[in-house]
Structure 1
Amino acid sequence: MSSEAERKTVCVTGGNGYVASALIKMLLEKGYAINTTVRDPSNPEKVAGFKAMEKLGPLKVFRANLEDEGSFDEAVAGCHYAFLVAAPVYDKSHKSDDLELEIVQGGVQGTLNVMRSCARAGTVKRVIFTSSTAAVSSRRPLEGDGHVLDESCWSDIEYLRSMEKLSPTQAYSISKVLSEREATKFAEENGLSLVTLCPVVTVGKSPAVRVDTSVPACLSLITGDEQMLNILKGIERASGWSMPIVHIDDLCAAEIFVAEKESASGRYICGSLNTTVTEIAGFLANKYPQYNVRCDCLDESHPEKPTISLSSAKLVGEGFEFKYKTLDEMYDDLVAYGRELGLVPN
């Protein structure tokens, strides 16, 4: 896609987010024109990351809010693909009583709001919904090890709701399951082509000026940030004693792959490495002896090897190739990014 005549316009929601901003950059480099959305385009912090990317190709920023019906109409109008990346984010300043409303219902309604805009546009050839393996692997602990989870597996909403108090992690998992299912139902009823990508924990450099949980959590063994260490261990526990990771460049390439591949359909797990926090800690201690890597925070309850694996065999089987497959490759980039962000000392 080099000439203006061939250039296709696509929409990426939540453009200032960690994944969305990296996806926008890659799409621009591939010759697409981009419409993206943020909640407040008048806020300099929300649009700061777009300035450098505007040099790569046509990029328009629209105001839209997941809560507001019809607010995505303008951004989606005339678009060939729509990448649904935006999702409600838990705000620690809010009471946990609001999790059901803000995260679960907010995620489902926000997804449907964008889907309705896609249906109204009449030009959208495919919707690519970014879900999460939080919609795949959050379930009752499985006995033994060697379990492989694929796209036929769903997180257990009943189990998640049986907890005494809904946590942000559980609310996020429930939200992703329900959003996927409602999006699929809507697509079928309205003749839209929908493909869902379920990424594992995502790491690596992004144009985003603020990073989401996965980057500081995966760097916490180096930084010693106790809150992020607890989140890292919580992710491993919630994933069935596994720490599956993928590089953000591979995730963005997979998003574009399933958009462009006409035969793509259904769900795709996107992850290139199944590991554990114990394995990561040992690797980091050897690779970065200059840092006081927090191996001391792990006990016998943390397995050396993952008890479950999330399989990306469907994605690979259809012709996708992961570029980053080892801890070495992923953490080289992640630590450099952490230094840029001021999270890791130089």
Structure 2
Amino acid sequence: MSRMSLVSGLTFIVLAMVGNSASQAASIINFDPNGTAGATSLAVGQFDQAPGNALAVNAIANGSVIFDTPFELLYQAKVAALRDANNNTLVVPGVDTAGELTIVARFNEIASGTSTAASFSTNTDQTGSFIEIYFDPGNNANDLAGTGFNDGTLIYRGTINQDGGGGFAVISTNPVALDQSPNGNQYSNLNSVTGAGGTLITVDTEFQDSNFFLTDLSTFSFNFNTSNVVPFSQVDPAAMMFDGTPAATLASLGAVNGLTGPNFLFQADATASFAVIPEPTSSLLLSVGLVGMVGYRIRSRRSKVA
């Protein structure tokens, strides 16, 4: 698909844990969180997603990540806050606005590595991949059930390119409770390895709703510069992903998430920031702290960059 032309040429600052960065200064877009075509528009410097869920589908076999074979990554989360260029909260969707904002994504990755280090990339067929943002006045997204993330009004859709990459590190393979969120352990029969990771992907804008996005976007960037982490500490593991794929079930994860498979479930936290670039055809950069399902034997960290 060809990229849309862009007047203001937006992309986002990359501060991912995979070590990527960009030199452009942070900028803003005009966004109306109520979809009133500017009546309640804000100068937004950052979309701050709440911790959500990411699921690597059919990525684990025989106690290890499957190398050199593409797997599918699914992601879903609520937008917790819209922030200005100085990281001050402007509004909280669903509280300060008429409805909630949610983000879902699907794309393909391929892993490679050794027993002590591993990486992954999107350098594979991305047919059917996308990232979407929804506005829903019903405020019905449920992290535990995994429902309500792709209903309401579609306000943004982008397609994934083949130039992304990242990594995942497992700190320990000693099983711990998968669900250590504040809501209590909802999955007492499921354990997990401990680890963290992140990735960087590029996305081309395919569609935007001008009632919400007042800035013309041929590129729109999400800087998912925090976590893919296990176990879950901030949000419930989802029973189901937005497309109906089972997530936190024995059939999906086995007894130990990240070890027994076939799927691997992560807590995924992200922010989205923006920067103006000179080339009108530049891509959306999506630094996903979500995907890095790359191996149960590797080591690293978890942090969140505002």
For normalisation by structure 2, the TM-score amounts to 0.30
Higher RCO (C-alpha 8 Å, min separation 6) = 2
Q: Please say which structure displays the higher CA radius of gyration.
A: 1
| TM-score of the pair, normalised by structure 1 | 0.28
